[in-house]
Each structure stands twice: as structure tokens, then as C-alpha cells.
A = this chain, B = another copy of it.
Amino acid sequence: MREGNDVKTTARANQRHPTLVDIAALANVAPMTVSRVINGSGYVSLKMREKVQRIIDKLEYHPNALARGLKSQRSHVIGILVPDILNPFAAELAGSIQEAMLVRGYTAFLSTTEQSTKREHAALSAFFDHRVAGIAVATVETASGNEALERFTRRGMPIVVVGRNAAPVGIDRVTADHWQGAYDAVEHLISLGHKRIAYIGGSPRTAGRLRRFHGFLEAMHAHGLGVPEELIAGPNHESGPGYSKQADGYEAMKRLLSLPHPPTAIFARNDFTALGAMSAARDSGVSIPGDIAIVGFDNVPQSAFTTPPLTTVAQPTAQQGREAAAMLLDRIEGGADREQREICLECQLIVRGSTVVPAVMPAARDRGQAQGLPATSDGAHA
């Protein structure tokens, strides 16, 4: 009888994936013992443990996570949903969440929406269907997205949203104070004597959705400065839910510079928009910061390497990721129905050469880590 088993299971194992039962048969133990060895749970004698482990190694046995998850009703995978993988904020955020979860024994699977609500729905459903332990969502708010998030939350799925103005009911949220960051940036420009400051990255109609735009507006008002509509420049309808790119910044800047009474400073919605604006300025023979000052937002790696380096607002991206991971873990491992939690971190203005001419040697000094270069890689595949 033992013979029969051995022969049969050995044959099977050679064909495809060996199972826990195969291991057990080869080791002449019960499947449960093998399970204990794998999970390091319960008591197994050292001798037996080694014997089993040897067979596991030899067969290159990989536990079937599907079966495990089905039986145990939990998984050690979390899902991360980001809008766009090319987005440095999303990239760094995902990296830090992944990092934080990894040390707690969780794997992270990433999915992107590519600015499509249909894909967003598909991605969230895929996570849910696979019964991930939790989901971190860094996409821009949409009605259908929120609906799905609330539905999953009702089903007990731990979820945290990052970078949003508001979270659906019952969902944890972590964000940074873009309003304050924008306010600081604009005050910086005003302190330099600028009065006519333009916003690039949205139309008067669309810009209002961003807190950083409100920070811009309110800083202007607080100093008695107005913002005529002609100084709000950018694409009228957004490409997908919430983006602005270099080309948008380029176009917007060109338009602003052709104004009878152009602005003396620019507050750009993000660094890419700002970079596009810088290109446009140089192509038009307008000097930075001499003729026009520019401030960006996000502190992307290349912002430190433009000429001149770009003044920008840095948000604590990695920290947001860590906080999000902590909230998620907290819900996963216990507090499924604790109160909703929210956290808002501070942004920091990073002054570089696009607003002020440094006293001496702009170059080297502005590129140090201390000056706020993001910690993540900006390398390219090679």
C-alpha cells in the first residue's frame, strides 16, 4: 500500500506541480505535518522537519496560493492601484507602499487604470475577486470608482485612498496638504515682488477641482492680488481624469507670453507642466527667472536638472506610502470596523534657480540630496 502510493504520487510530481500530499507521501508523514513544516506552525520534531524540508527542496515544491487562500480565507497579497505608471508620484508611492508591506510579509501587485474608468473598474474587481488582503488606491476620484470602493468596503475589504481631497464613507485616507504647498509657493513669488502671477495647468472651468489651485488663489487674494481669467491657462478638457503634461505647459506658456500684458511669474500645476512652460519661455527668448519666474509642483527628479533648476513644491511621497501601508495593515490585522481615519502631511517648498538667482555657483549646490532631491531612482532602462 505504501508502495502504491509512492509510485503514483512520484509520477504525478514529475509531470506538473507537486502538491503537499505528494511531499507527505514521499516523507511517509501526514499532509498536515508537511503543512506545519511549511508554515512553521505547531510542533514538529526537528528530525521530521528536516526530512520533510529536504523533500520540499528537492522537488522544488511551491505551495499553491490559490488553495491556501481558499481554505484560510485570507491572503498575503495587497493590491495597489495607480493611474499611470509613468507618473513619478505614483511610482514612488507604490514603491514605498510595497516596501512597507514587504517587511510585514505581504506581496504587492500593482495595476494601472491608464486614465480609463473601465480599466479602473476591471482592476479593482480583479483585486477583489482574488480576495487580496487590502487595496491601496491612488487614482483620481471618479463616481464609478467611488461606488466600487464603497461596495468593496461594505464587503469588508480594507481600503485606503491616497492623495484625494476626500474619501468615500468608511474609507481611510492619507494625503498631503497641497493647498498649503501652493500657498507657500505663491507667497514666495509675491515676496520676490511678483504681482501678476499666472496659473498653468487647467482652464478656469476645470482648475477648481485641485486644492493646489485654491491655495494659489487664496494666497493671491490674501495679498490683495487678483487673478484675471486670462492668467489661468491650460487645456480645457482634460485628457483622462486629471492630467497635464509638458505639451500642455508649452502651449499655455506660449499663449500667456503673447498676451498684451504677460505675467511675470508662473505657478504651474505640476512639474511636467512647468518644464513645458520653461521650454516655451526659452524658445521665445524669455529668460528665467529674469523675465519670468516659474514654480512647479511635485519635485520630480529632473526638476533639479533643468536650466535653471526648477523651484517646486515637494510632497512627502514615501511617507504617504508608509502611512497608507500602516493604515492598511491596521485594518487587515484587526480593526475591520474601527472608525475611519484620515491623515494629512505637510508639503515643502524647494527654492531653486527658476525663481531666484543664487548668489554664487548655481550648479553643484542646487543638486545635493539636502536640497530635496527625491530618494527614488530616476534611472532609465539600459
Interface residues of A, Cβ cutoff 8 Å to B: 16-17, 60, 62-67, 69-70, 75, 77, 83-92, 94-95, 98-99, 102, 107-112, 114-115, 119, 122-123, 125-126, 128-131, 138, 151, 155-156, 163, 201, 210, 212, 239-240, 242-247, 250, 269-273, 275-276, 279-280, 282-283, 297-298, 300-302, 304-307, 362-364, 367, 376-382
Contact status of A382 and B65, CB under 8 A, knowing A91-B85, A95-B112, A110-B112: no
Q: Are A85 and B94 in contact (CB under 8 A)?
A: yes
Q: What are 18 A-B contacts with C-beta separation under 8 Å?
A: A16-B156, A17-B155, A62-B125, A62-B129, A66-B75, A77-B126, A83-B381, A84-B381, A86-B378, A88-B380, A90-B381, A109-B111, A244-B379, A244-B380, A245-B301, A246-B302, A272-B378, A279-B306
Closest to A380 in B: B270
Shortest Cβ distance from residue A154 to the other chain B in the assembled complex, whole angstroms: 9
| Option from B126, B210, B363, B382 in Cβ contact (under 8 Å) with A297 | B382
Distance, CA A155 to CA B16, complexed state (A):
6
With contacts A62-B129, A305-B275 known, is A382 near B246, CB below 8 A?
no
Residue ID in chain B nearest A378 by CB atoms:
B245
Question: A379 and B279: CB pair below 8 A?
Answer: no
In the assembled complex, which residues on chain B have CB atoms less than 8 Å from the CB atom of A67?
Answer: 66, 70
Residues of chain B lying within 8 A (CB to CB) of residue A302? 246, 272, 275, 302
CB pair A301 B110 closer than 8 Å: no
Task: Indicate whether A86 sits within 8 Å of B88 (C-beta atoms), given known contacts A163-B381, A250-B305.
Answer: yes
A138 to B307: give the CA distance in the assembly, Å: 33
- Which one, B107, B108, B212, B380, contacts A382 given CB within 8 A? B212
Residue of B whose beta carbon sits closest to that of A60: B151
Q: Beyond A111-B109, A129-B63, A301-B246, is A89–B380 a contact (Cβ under 8 Å)?
A: yes
Contact A247 B367 (CB under 8 A): yes
Query: When the two chains form the complex, which single residue of B98, B126, B380 contacts A272, counting CB atoms closer than 8 Å?
Result: B380
The answer to whether B129 touches A87 (Cβ under 8 A) is no
Whether A84 touches B377, Cβ cut-off 8 Å, given contacts A69-B66, A307-B282, is yes
Looking at the assembled complex, report how far the CB atom of A335 sits from the nearest CB atom of chain B, in whole angstroms: 17
Which residue, of A65, A83, A88, A201, has the highest number of chain B Cβ atoms within 10 A?
A65
Knowing A87-B379, A305-B279, A382-B270 are in contact, say whether A64-B244 is a contact too (CB < 8 A).
no
**Which of B98, B279, B377, B379 meets A307, CB within 8 Å?**
B279
Chain B residue with Cβ nearest A106: B126
Instruction: List B contacts of A304 (CB < 8 A).
Output: 246
Question: Given A275-B302, A307-B282, is A102 in contact with B122 using a C-beta cutoff of 8 Å?
Answer: yes
B95 in contact with A379 (CB, 8 Å): no
9 additional contacts (CB under 8 A) given A85-B85, A239-B377? A60-B151, A65-B129, A84-B377, A85-B110, A95-B114, A245-B379, A247-B367, A270-B382, A275-B302
